[in-house]
Amino acid sequence: MIGFIALFNFFLPFFLLLFREAKKNPSFLAILAAIVFVSHAVTMFWVIEPSFFPRGIHVHWLDFAAPLAIGGLWVVSFIANLKRAALLPRNDPRISYSFAHA
């Protein structure tokens, strides 16, 4: 398990992100982020689970539902707060210059 953690949480992302082309590809970055996210979730499960079930691994449906529920609440909160504020700065004289050279 230590090898899994070292490989997917450090070595794989580190060495893949050394290449410029990898950093310019949004779909590749999304896949890499998903791999790191899942690896981190597995790592947290591996660290926390023995505290509750010392005699063996016990997988419950709430192990999957609770992170999804918390993530859903975060997304709803983020979208609600996103509607409250302007996404672009107001009265910025350089904003038209930014769009012209984008």
- Distance between CA 9 and CA 75 in Å, rounded? 24
- Distance between CA 45 and CA 47 in Å, rounded? 6
Q: Is the pTM of this model over 0.75?
A: no
Structure tokens at 27: 């779909």
- In the chain, the number of structural domains is 1
Q: Are 18 and 41 in contact (CB under 8 A)?
A: no
In tens digits, the chain (102 residues) has pLDDT values of: 788 888 888 999 999 999 999 999 999 999 999 999 999 988 988 888 888 888 888 888 988 899 899 999 999 999 999 888 888 888 888 888 877 776
Secondary structure (DSSP) of 47-81: HHHHHH-TTS----THHHHHHHHHHHHHHHHHHHH
Domain span at residue 60 reads 2-100
